[in-house]
Amino acid sequence: MSETCDICNAPDSMHPLLEMSLLGITAAWVQQCESCGFRQIRPRLTRETLSLIYPGEYFDSAGTIGYSDFSRQEQRYQRLAYFLAKKMRRLLPPEAKLLEIGCALGFLLHGLERYTSWNIQGLDISSFASFFAAKMYGMHVACGTLQEVRFPDSNFDFIIQKDLLEHVPHPRMHMLETNRVLKKGGYLWLITPNGEANIRPLQRAAHKIHKTGTDALPLLGQGHLSFFSKNHLTRLFSETGFDCISMRNISIRRGFRALGFLPGGNRSFSTILRKDISMPAPGNQPAIDQDRYQRLYEQIAQDINRHYNPIRSRTLYFYYRRLLQSTGRLPGWATLGLDFEFLLRKR
């Protein structure tokens, strides 16, 4: 069956570029469109494989895949929520309906509940994320993909997609579905990696492997499936019904490292021997294991308390960190950061 490019819709235009290991559990090929240059893992991952890639252990500090210590992010997300709420309160009504797609453990949503009166909902593919958010914050997080849940048309005033678009197998279909559930004139706040900064360390790792002659693959540790340029993103957003209100590059120093302009660009990327790549057996992965989830919940809750620093919860500290981070941002025309940040509005 013929498949088109998610950006330019060219048929049968994807060709192998780089073989790598996704999270150490499967080998995969990054393919590149010969028409527009878009790079994406093909064949696309199935829904079953996605569930195996994002188990509860994705958030386990002792786990071998996903985030190494996600609990450390809790206070940072509270700070992010403070400034996001301050910005969006000028654009949204007090009773606005908000959805975060890919909300993980609900850290950002919990912060937004503190600083707004909005009707807040979450969605994540991880059943453990839904379990954790309900138990820790009393928050409803639906489990599944946006296409599976099927929210009503024009249901939300504001949608958040932070570090999500690079994880979905069908970006164009996902953006069209996002448009469907967003009200006309509603806003989408989206952060996704700079594909070039994402792919270059993998290419350097592959070159190193080739020189040593070992039977290994570059290891991509967070499950990214697509590698977008700025032009790919702006075209995708425009063609799926969004106008760009603002765009900027963020995490400039880390972007410089990943792009090879500063030393240390390979620190977060490693290699894995082919013999060590092991896909979990689907039959051994229960959809919901209450005892296992309870143990992991208690561990993460303890980690959050252990990392908690009261100084980091003060508004003055929020502004101090914001000032420091302002040096790590560039306007949209620059493509040197690790991530792109967009504020979009539905036409």
Q: What is the pLDDT of residues 36-76, one digit of tens each?
A: 999 999 999 888 888 777 766 667 666 555 566 788 899 99
User: What pLDDT was estimated at residue 159?
Assistant: 98
Provide the percentage of residues in the chain whose pLDDT is more than 90. Answer: 72
User: What pLDDT was estimated at residue 165?
Assistant: 98
How would DSSP label each residue in 227-290? E--HHHHHHHHHHTTEEEEEEEEE-HHHHHHHHTSSTTTTTT-EEEEGGG--PPPGGG--S--H
> 54-198+224-276+287-346, what's its fold?
Rossmann fold (3.40.50)
Q: Where are the domains of the chain?
A: 54-198+224-276+287-346
Alpha carbons within 13 A on the beta-carbon side of 238: 8
Q: How many helices (H) and strands (E) does the chain have?
A: 11, 14
Chain-wide mean pLDDT for the chain? 90
pTM (2 d.p.)? 0.93
Identify the helix (H) or strand (E) that includes residue 124.
Answer: strand 119-124
User: What pLDDT was estimated at residue 281?
Assistant: 63
